[in-house]
Chain A
Amino acid sequence: MKKMMTGNEAVARGAYEASVHFASAYPGTPSTEILENIATYKEIIAEWAPNEKVALEAVIGASFAGGRSLASMKHVGLNVAADPLFTFSYTGVNGGSVVISADEPGMYSSQNEQDNRNYAIHAKIPMLEPSNSQEAKDMMVDAFNISEEYNSVVLFRMTTRICHSKSIVELGERQEISPKPYERQLDTYVSVPRNARNNRHKVEDRMNRLQEYTETSKWNYTISHGSTVGVIASGMSVEFAKEALGETVDYLKLGFTNPLPKNLIQEFCDNHETVYIIEENDPYIENYAKTLGCEVIGKDLFPYTGEMTPDVIKRCVLSQQVEELEVPQDLIVPRPPTFCSGCPHRGFFYELGKKRKKIIVAGDIGCYSLAVGEPYRMMEWLICMGAAYSTAHGAQRIIDLKDDDDRRLVAVMGDSTFFHTGINSLLNTIYNGGNTINVILDNRITGMTGQQDNPGSGFTLQGGDAAIGDIEAICRALGVKHVRTINPNDLALVKETINWAMDLDETSVIITNWPCVLKKHYKDEDFEMYQDMWKTKDYVIEEKCTGCKACLRSGCPSLIFNPETKKTSIDPYTCVGCDVCAQICPYDAIQKEGYHE
């Protein structure tokens, strides 16, 4: 049967066909939909983990116990999971195990552009790189065979264009594989120095054996059109190169890429007068080819950043410029992503930004990163998940050394980020007697990646009932004495609470608790707790509106200012009645409309 699938759907299907027993992940673009799709196969135990390290550690346990297991993450997630990965390389597997890294050439929604193929070399593990959805599925099935045959976790490297592009997949049969028996292997699984030194030699032997495998792997092959010009590429770059250059060149297509096939590359280079190496991000294949003494053309010609799309290749190889229509720039204004109408973060940032010169805001990864944009412009740095509290603590330490600077650090992160690694950072602050103001913007969901559930939402990946992590109780258990939970849509309360925290010289935590407007699942208690949630609308009484634009400072996209009439109106289709603008209006021109079902 043929089906149109994204790469993410296809690897999930591959996991199903390979009889995977356990899968775990933390959501992150472009990898999120892998676990969401795996969760639709009832044969697989699929879980959201609070972070990538935890996900991989659960997967390692599942493998040791005999199950086929996989963890998926975005590229930066592998930095978090790197610690267990490197030792998992030494211990080897029992049930086959795969780590999927979804890299992002071009950084469409990530804080950096890193090439995780380097992790395969660094951790000394085999790697596969699919070029389209069919390969994503087929390679996934094979990855588990390679993992078990060579006793190693396999790195499965995808990129945004593989994850989020759709192509046709011929589905296969599911293999029914039961978990292997668990056997105590103290000498192997307990990675103390005596054992690790033994394992280290096994790793070297394994990579030597894989050096033979890679030369004959079905995933590495040449496509000949009788040309003197050759292209070596892996992943999506293969498809881009075929589109741009078609049958005018020969190809060495690499799908199994750690270790790289020495003889295949050498032979291909010997047989062609000119060889281009087309790859996204780092010169991973190029550097290897050069160490073999091959003369190849790579990053000297191709850009070192972004995607190697056909236009890039045509420009670099054929010096072809694409003819395109010019668009007058006055026809376009930017459309930056913004907080949604009714986003509970808006009220908090409005009050935080109001005439407060004595603060520095440390940011984190999530929807609230949007506070960096208009009209807030109030996030002074953003590093990685969970870093807001710890970076703020370090910064506050230095600010406090200065006699002429009495600014306070306000660190913001979301509920999912708090569970991810924020807890550790807050513990650091409280342990070291810090005095930062730590805000948890708890919208009851992992918002930015598309409303995935988390340990605070009360639901599992499949929407089943789950225990709810009590954020306020966790903060108190960490030792925070000053914790307040507030409704961020109540501006007077937000203001009073920020003032309360500013007056303290000890660690404080402000939890703003109100659900994301896009949240899908609710419990009955929620409807009691969050009364009139999204059930009303606000409207402008035109006669009272003076056109002062004060309400626009809330940054709500439902508010529209008409420059001709000099009045503001509220889009009734998008307003969800959070009332933040009504509280800001100095003329009582914004009123609440009745209850909507």
Chain B
Amino acid sequence: MSKSIKLVGVGGQGTILATKILSTALIHEGYDVKMSEIHGMSQRGGSVSSEIRFGDKVHSPVIEKGHADVLVAFEQMEAARYLDYIKKDGVVIVNDYQVNSMVTLTGKVPYPQGILSYLKDHVQTVIVDAHTMAGKLGNAKVMNIIMLGALIKQLGFEHLDIEGAILEHVKPKYHELNKIAFQQGLQL
């Protein structure tokens, strides 16, 4: 058994942090885990993707197209950009949030419409309004942890010690906030 999860978003959204937290919890659970990311030119504002593969034994740290069990997208258009990675019977968990790119900011090209309905028509889709939820918690940045909660619920992996992993990766000042955000994601 092995599972592949791809997490995508825009530089600065906390994609990599969420991936690290999940990897830590999976390894504590005893899985063989591999994680991969490509960064460098996408410090801020670029498209970011990272991936986790886990199971009894995992060789490749990268997910092939058409092989991801779950695609977690922190932004609508990024869900569409990486949709070819998802299995036909996979699940997309998408944050109902739009981040403009340089191309749409200028008004030359509109931000694409109908992404969510396309997703729903073609693959099992869970839409999460994590941006609004995070805003209500007083810090838009915990959107990533709300999404992580939604992913854990989807996987049925509530037994994972995510809160413990949060303690390892997040500054103490933000522990409580992140725990609340995770619980809210879990209850979606």
Using a CB–CB cutoff of 8 Å, the interface residues on chain A facing chain B are: 2, 4, 29-30, 108-109, 132, 160-161, 164-168, 239-240, 242-244, 307, 309-311, 314, 322-328, 330-338, 340, 367, 373-375, 447-450, 518, 549, 552, 555, 557, 559-563, 573
Q: Tell me if A552 and B106 are in contact (CB < 8 A).
A: yes
Give Cα A309 to B67, complex, Å: 13
Q: Tell me if A335 and B80 are in contact (CB < 8 A).
A: no
Inter-chain pairs besides A161-B62, A335-B45, 17 sampled, C-beta below 8 Å:
A2-B27, A108-B40, A168-B27, A309-B60, A325-B123, A331-B114, A333-B77, A335-B46, A335-B103, A337-B41, A337-B43, A374-B102, A375-B102, A375-B106, A549-B107, A557-B44, A563-B107
Q: Tell me if B62 and A4 are in contact (CB < 8 A).
A: no
Closest B residue to A367 by beta carbon equals: B43
Closest B residue to A451 by beta carbon equals: B43
Closest A residue to B48 by beta carbon equals: A335
Nearest Cβ in chain B — how far from A337, in angstroms? Answer: 4
Contact-size category for B: 35 or more
Given contacts A167-B33, A323-B88, contact A559 B66 (CB under 8 A): no
Q: Tell me if B101 and A335 are in contact (CB < 8 A).
A: yes
Is B176 an interface position by the 8 A CB rule?
no
Q: Tell me if B34 and A325 are in contact (CB < 8 A).
A: no
Q: Tell me if B64 and A325 are in contact (CB < 8 A).
A: no
Give Cα A7 to B142, complex, Å: 28
Q: Tell me if B122 and A549 are in contact (CB < 8 A).
A: no
Closest A residue to B84 by beta carbon equals: A324
Nearest Cβ in chain A — how far from B3, in angstroms? Answer: 14
Pick the residue among A30, A167, A244 that contacts B61 (CB under 8 A). A167
Q: Tell me if A310 and B64 are in contact (CB < 8 A).
A: yes
Q: Tell me if B60 and A164 are in contact (CB < 8 A).
A: no
Give Cα A33 to B84, complex, Å: 31
Considering only residues 93-132 of chain B, those with a C-beta below 8 Å from chain A are 100-107, 109-112, 114-115, 118, 122-123
Chief secondary structure at chain A's binding surface = loop
Contact residues in B for A549 (Cβ distance below 8 Å): 106-107
Q: Tell me if A333 and B84 are in contact (CB < 8 A).
A: no
Pick the residue among B10, B101, B114 that contacts A333 (CB under 8 A). B101
Closest B residue to A238 by beta carbon equals: B59
Closest B residue to A336 by beta carbon equals: B102
How many A-B pairs have beta carbons closer than 8 Å: the answer is: 173
Given contacts A323-B88, A555-B102, contact A331 B64 (CB under 8 A): no
Closest B residue to A556 by beta carbon equals: B105
Contact residues in A for B81 (Cβ distance below 8 Å): 327, 332, 335
Q: Tell me if A560 and B36 are in contact (CB < 8 A).
A: no
Give Cα A12 to B58, complex, Å: 23
Q: Tell me if B66 and A324 are in contact (CB < 8 A).
A: yes
Considering only residues 1-58 of chain B, those with a C-beta below 8 Å from chain A are 10-11, 23-24, 27, 32-47, 58
Q: Tell me if A332 and B80 are in contact (CB < 8 A).
A: yes
Contact residues in B for A450 (Cβ distance below 8 Å): 43
Give Cα A448 to B41, complex, Å: 7
Q: Tell me if A239 and B43 are in contact (CB < 8 A).
A: no
Contact residues in A for B42 (Cβ distance below 8 Å): 337
Is B83 an interface position by the 8 A CB rule?
yes
Given contacts A323-B66, A450-B43, contact A562 B37 (CB under 8 A): no
Nearest Cβ in chain A — how far from B61, in angstroms? Answer: 4
Give Cα A322 to B67, complex, Å: 8
Query: Can you list 25 contacts pairing A with B, beta carbon distance less than 8 Å?
Result: A4-B23, A30-B40, A108-B41, A132-B34, A161-B36, A166-B36, A167-B34, A167-B35, A168-B32, A239-B60, A239-B61, A244-B60, A322-B67, A323-B66, A324-B65, A325-B88, A327-B81, A328-B118, A331-B112, A336-B46, A373-B102, A375-B106, A448-B40, A552-B106, A560-B100
